[in-house]
Amino acid sequence: MVVTAVTVTNASAEQSSTRGATNASRSDVAIKTTTLSTTSLVNVAFLNQTHGYGVVRAQGPVTCGDAVARASDGRSTFSAPVPVVSWSCNNDEPVSTLAFDSHGDGFVHGPQLFITHNAGATWTRGDQPEPVFSVVALGSSIWMWEATRPVPTSASRFKIPLRLLSSSDGGRTWSVLPSPAGADLQSATGLLSTALVRVNRTSAYVTTNAGQSIGLRTFATPLWFTNDAGVTWSSHPNPCGGYSTTLSAAPDGTLFDVCASEPGTGEQMKETLRYREQGRRWQIRSWCPLKSVTTHCTTGSQVSSYVDQIHAVSDLTVFLVGDRSSLEVTRDGGVTWSVVARGLGGDAGGTFQVILFNATSGIVFGDGEGPNAGDFGQTLWSTSDGGVHWATHHPHVT
């Protein structure tokens, strides 16, 4: 997959070095299945229409755990899940996102990191300091965006440089790439935010929300771009001044941002912004006054439902998913948005992930609407004609 997408919610150059991941013992990451009672699919990573993986979360009265299962017959049946990590259900989950390359190397991360090199048969703990924010694999090229040291739990203010790592051997060893000066993790509120969006093997955007997270009066989000694997970086501040910024880059490098207000009662005001490197300026495609108390939005702006992720297929076509949101699409570069089809998510459940392999084929993960009101269930939808028609798949774990 060439295009990546991320969501950032209010939230220095390093010397080059090489290091490997230190393996944790299996006992450190085993799930205590005897205490678990309910399971659900919480995140997926597909390499194509039929080859993919899913994070299966189990929750019991005391212990919660994540395991990874492989899609064994396309998008419906997942193999027996392999344990990755367990934790007390009273605490935050140690991982949230799944990524795989095409050689059997996988990464469950955010904030901790666990790695497999055998297509999920076994998992080991990486030695990266928390938090790991992004792991993006493009073929054999893997980049990781992380903090340089653990985030303090008691300090009211802190400033931690972020760094970009690169691996060409499936995450067995990592080299530190140059990062833009000023790309720091800062917080006075505990709302951490940063993101990595890769365009191709050498080009990427990174962003932070440092100004907002420490309470400064700023309506711009720091954003940097490299087209030479971090050797040089250019600064392109994002004019988003909302609660969250959701980014995706099209294959030609056009960057989209759905900038949104704080969500509540099923509504979230949104602005659509577009940036073209060759034009070197941001365009407001649809607009809501996130910086004022009014709620008069332009026709193309969205208010109902939330936004979690976008995926840009081209400089005109972008898909959007979110809690309490159906799958939505714009085909005019963000000027107008519309629901793709009834039943692909809904205002009581939602859509969680959208993965596009190219301009015609892709997968959406979310809650599907059944024939009766309030009838929902975890669903994968697939398209092979650019989103005109969608096939429905109800995943289950063997």
Residue 56 · residue 28 · CB < 8 Å: no
End-to-end CA distance of the chain: 27
* Spans of the chain, pLDDT less than 50: 1-36, 189-190, 211-217, 371-375
Mean pLDDT, all residues of the chain? 82
The sheet carrying 281-286 orders its strands as 5-9, 244-249, 255-260, 270-276, 281-286
The one-letter amino acid code at 28 reads D
What pLDDT was estimated at residue 155? 64
Q: Is the sign of the CA dihedral 279, 193, 261, 40 positive or negative?
A: positive
Q: Which residue has the tokens 């970009």?
A: 164
Q: Could you give the CA distance from residue 162 to residue 12 in angstroms, rounded to a whole number?
A: 7
Chain-centroid distance, C-alpha 165:
18
Residue 141 · residue 168 · CB < 8 Å: yes
Identify the CA nearest to 186 among candidates 164, 216, 209. Answer: 209
User: What is the pTM (predicted TM-score) of this model?
Assistant: 0.85
Instruction: Give the three-class secondary structure for 210.
Output: helix
pLDDT tens for 49-72 read: 889 999 999 998 999 999 999 997
The CA-atom distances, in angstroms, between 301 and each of 123, 136, 220, 334, 387 are: 43, 30, 20, 9, 21
What pLDDT was estimated at residue 22? 33
Q: Could you give the CA distance from residue 58 to residue 38 in angstroms, rounded to a whole number?
A: 5
Spans of all domains in the chain: 238-398
- Per DSSP, helices labelled H in the chain are 26-29, 210-213
What pLDDT was estimated at residue 342? 78
